[in-house]
């Protein structure tokens, strides 16, 4: 039996390697993260009630078990155990052959039993690690299964309790304090999100609080023991993880620089002000009076069962990274396309069915069209319609009971159409501006890109005779004679102006590369003739 598992940030960490790059005013920040992941099961952890309460009336997805009526007995949902085993695989972690549930006692109106069923002593997922794209390894201390509590909405003179979420299955992934910057904290949160969504463990809908991050931060001078930590709870966007860590690091350094002491406490994050505020002093484990739950038998798994649960794991982010090395794309582009499993899968399909050049072209199209937070949110909203999400910036109200609306269909352009688009561009049939326009259209409504180009009149004229005729007109026009003469005299830059005139005459449809070549040929020819 293992003893007290503790929580992220409170265990000792040996800092190896060069940390000078992380130092801020001589202080080394140390961060551990606890992440609650809502499992994508059909029903709750211990009752047969629908686990998806999005858009449902408050207290409409609640059984006698979730209400904690006397005499009710919880029955463990095996699917939650299966998803935990898959999560463990994605976290490079061993699965316990035997794990157990414990009662964590505390009183809160959204917890009618007076205790939360969790795993304190024998968690299902043992130690593992997550390797970030920059090479940082964040060790996972363990991850345990537990049920979620309900939700409270506070008003001026009363509060409302909604128990729809009570009993929702979670895994809480507890990292070791291996993170030393706010940016790495964000990268870790993003990687966990990718791992958990790719593995199908969670819908990963951040807007609805499917993943919530608790960030433990402390600062200390190098060589000194870890400083006193604070915990910022319930962050539900990557950006707020980074900002809260940044703010907390700066705040703690300021406190220490004034000669004061950091108080161990839980702090809340206000997205609007960009500040953390004190909420309560942190309980120690003994305050929860943990005890084994006598109602639930232990989870006992043998090798064969674990292997079966972990069978057919989908391609995980790191495998895609290895595959996409052939594309030679920027790290930022890679980050964008890995944000969503569907995009990553599509790019991989394109690479398999065409060429690295075409796959790179499409990857860059995704990256440039999703560059703005707003664009990414819109796509994410449509994709999360069926539970998949790339949402980074949900409104920070997932726990406040506001209901999000999803509109439109979850579509991504097919790899066939995307290959066609890149090919049409490659054949100079459309300009790069037109390519972007068609791509944006395909994101809304996937169709054959050539049809879109025709409908929008975006096909370039690549007919040499047609362009040659326009070039002839431009070169003989009286107003262009000075430019023609200048070019003849060796002033190369003038070619741009002349191509521009051809584009103007052709209403933007001439292939500019071809037009440039024809202009050059024609002027050089007339030079030789002279
Ligand atoms: Mn928890």
Q: Which domains are assigned to the chain?
A: 24-308 (no CATH), 317-455 (no CATH), 464-529 (1.10.10.410)
**The pLDDT of residue 191 is above 80:** yes
Distance of CA 128 from the midpoint of ligand 1 (Å): 18
- Count of CB atoms situated within 10 Å of the CB of 195: 23
71 by Cβ neighbours in 10 Å (0-12 / 13-18 / 19+) ranks as: exposed
**pLDDT classification of 428: cutoffs 50, 70, 90:** confident
Distance of CA 481 from the midpoint of ligand 1 (Å): 77
Angle at 414 between CA 412 and CA 420, to 5 degrees: 125
Distance of CA 213 from the midpoint of ligand 1 (Å): 10
Nearest residue to 147 (alpha-carbon basis) of 231, 216, 230, 62: 62
**The pLDDT of residue 404 is above 60:** no
Give dist(CA 529, CA 488) in Å, integer.
13
Distance of CA 216 from the midpoint of ligand 1 (Å): 14
Distance of CA 184 from the midpoint of ligand 1 (Å): 22
Q: Phi, psi (5° rounding) for residue 276? A: -100, 150
Eight-class DSSP state of 480: G
Greater pLDDT, 466 or 95: 95
Structure tokens at 43: 């029903």
pTM for the predicted model, two decimal places: 0.82
Distance of CA 147 from the midpoint of ligand 1 (Å): 8
Structure tokens at 528: 């030789």
Distance of CA 288 from the midpoint of ligand 1 (Å): 12
User: What is the pLDDT at residue 387?
Assistant: 39
Q: Phi, psi (5° rounding) for residue 352? A: -65, -35
Distance of CA 35 from the midpoint of ligand 1 (Å): 8
Distance of CA 256 from the midpoint of ligand 1 (Å): 30
Structure tokens at 47: 């009752």
Average pLDDT over residues 52-76: 93
Average pLDDT over residues 272-277: 91
**The pLDDT of residue 407 is above 50:** no
Distance of CA 290 from the midpoint of ligand 1 (Å): 13
Distance of CA 148 from the midpoint of ligand 1 (Å): 8
Pairing of strands 265-270, 230-235: parallel
Average pLDDT over residues 36-48: 97
Distance of CA 193 from the midpoint of ligand 1 (Å): 17
Average pLDDT over residues 192-208: 94
Computed from CA positions of residues 84, 85, 86, 88, in that sequence, does the dihedral angle turn out positive or negative?
positive
Distance of CA 202 from the midpoint of ligand 1 (Å): 16
Summarised one tens digit per residue, pLDDT across range 233-242 is 999 999 999 9
Average pLDDT over residues 252-263: 96
User: What is the pLDDT at residue 376?
Assistant: 65
Q: What is the CA radius of gyration of the chain?
A: 29
- Do residues 30 and 185 lie in contact, with contact meaning Cβ atoms separated by under 8 Å? no
**The pLDDT of residue 397 is above 50:** no
Distance of CA 301 from the midpoint of ligand 1 (Å): 23
Strands (E), 288-429: 291-292, 299-300
Q: In what order do the strands lie in the sheet with 137-147?
A: 128-131, 137-147, 169-175, 27-38, 211-221, 230-235, 265-270, 275-281
Q: Write down the H helix ranges in 258-355.
A: 303-309, 317-324, 331-338, 341-353
Structure tokens at 242: 């980074």
Give dist(CA 481, CA 503) in Å, integer.
18
Average pLDDT over residues 77-101: 98
User: What is the pLDDT at residue 416?
Assistant: 96
Q: How many residues does the chain have?
A: 530
Distance of CA 241 from the midpoint of ligand 1 (Å): 17
Greatest Cα pair distance, the chain, in angstroms, is 105
Summarised one tens digit per residue, pLDDT across range 278-335 is 887 766 667 899 999 999 999 999 999 999 999 999 999 999 999 999 999 999 999 9
User: What is the pLDDT at residue 392?
Assistant: 35
**The pLDDT of residue 211 is above 70:** yes
Mean confidence (pLDDT) of the chain: 88
Pairing of strands 102-105, 291-292: antiparallel
Angle at 395 between CA 314 and CA 437, to 5 degrees: 65
User: What is the pLDDT at residue 381?
Assistant: 61
Summarised one tens digit per residue, pLDDT across range 323-380 is 999 999 999 999 999 988 999 999 999 999 999 999 999 999 999 888 766 666 666 6
Average pLDDT over residues 47-64: 93
- Which distant-in-sequence residues (6+ apart) come within 8 Å of 135 by Cβ? none
User: What is the pLDDT at residue 187?
Assistant: 96
Distance of CA 305 from the midpoint of ligand 1 (Å): 26
Distance of CA 36 from the midpoint of ligand 1 (Å): 6
Distance of CA 291 from the midpoint of ligand 1 (Å): 16
Distance of CA 142 from the midpoint of ligand 1 (Å): 12
- Residue 218 three-state SS: strand
Distance of CA 172 from the midpoint of ligand 1 (Å): 6
Distance of CA 146 from the midpoint of ligand 1 (Å): 7
Distance of CA 332 from the midpoint of ligand 1 (Å): 32
């Amino acid at each position: 039996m293992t003893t007290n598992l503790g929580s992220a940030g409170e265990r000792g960490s040996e800092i190896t390697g060069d940390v000078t790059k992380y130092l801020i005013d001589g202080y080394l920040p140390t961060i551990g993260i606890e992440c609650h992941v809502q499992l994508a099961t059909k029903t709750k952890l211990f009752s047969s009630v629908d686990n998806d309460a999005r858009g449902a009336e408050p207290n409409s997805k609640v059984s006698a078990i979730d209400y904690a009526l006397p005499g009710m007995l919880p029955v463990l949902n095996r699917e939650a155990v299966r998803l935990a085993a898959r999560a463990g695989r994605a976290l490079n972690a061993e699965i316990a052959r035997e794990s157990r549930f414990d009662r964590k006692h505390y009183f809160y109106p959204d917890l009618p039993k007076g205790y939360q069923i969790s795993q304190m002593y024998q968690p299902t997922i043992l130690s593992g690690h997550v390797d970030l794209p920059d090479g940082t390894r964040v060790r996972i201390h363990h991850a345990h299964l537990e049920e979620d509590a309900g939700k409270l909405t506070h008003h001026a003179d009363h509060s409302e309790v909604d128990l729809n979420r009570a009993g929702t299955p979670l895994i809480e992934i507890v990292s070791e304090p291996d993170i030393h910057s706010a940016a790495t904290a964000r990268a870790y949160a993003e990687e966990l999100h990718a791992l958990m969504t790719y593995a199908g463990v969670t819908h990963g809908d951040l807007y609805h609080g499917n993943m919530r991050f608790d960030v433990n931060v402390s600062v200390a001078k190098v060589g000194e023991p870890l400083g006193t930590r604070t915990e910022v709870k319930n962050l539900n966007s990557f950006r707020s993880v980074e900002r809260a860590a940044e703010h907390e690091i700066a705040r703690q350094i300021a406190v220490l620089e004034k000669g004061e002491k950091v108080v161990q406490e839980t702090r809340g994050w206000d997205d609007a002000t960009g500040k953390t505020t004190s909420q309560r002093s942190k309980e120690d484990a003994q305050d929860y009076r943990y005890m084994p739950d006598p109602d639930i038998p232990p989870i006992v798994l043998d090798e064969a069962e674990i292997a079966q649960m972990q069978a057919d794991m989908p391609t995980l982010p790191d495998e895609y990274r290895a595959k996409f090395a052939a594309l030679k794309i920027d790290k930022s582009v890679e980050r964008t396309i890995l944000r969503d499993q569907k995009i990553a899968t599509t790019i991989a399909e394109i690479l398999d069915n065409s060429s690295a050049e075409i796959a790179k072209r499409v990857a860059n199209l995704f990256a440039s069209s999703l560059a703005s937070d707003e664009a990414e949110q819109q796509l994410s909203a449509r994709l999360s319609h069926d539970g998949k999400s790339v949402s980074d910036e949900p409104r920070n109200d997932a726990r406040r009971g506001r209901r999000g609306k999803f509109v439109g269909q979850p579509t991504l352009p097919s790899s066939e159409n995307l290959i066609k688009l890149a090919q049409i561009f490659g054949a100079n049939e459309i300009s790069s501006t037109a390519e972007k326009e068609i791509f944006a259209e395909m994101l809304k409504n996937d169709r054959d890109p050539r049809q879109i180009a025709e409908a929008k009149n975006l096909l370039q004229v690549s007919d040499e005779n047609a362009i040659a005729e326009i070039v002839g007109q431009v070169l003989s026009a009286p107003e262009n004679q000075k430019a023609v003469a200048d070019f003849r005299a060796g002033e190369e830059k003038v070619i741009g102006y002349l191509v521009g005139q051809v584009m103007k005459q052709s209403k933007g449809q001439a292939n500019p590369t071809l037009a440039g070549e024809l202009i050059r040929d024609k002027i050089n020819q007339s030079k030789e003739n002279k």
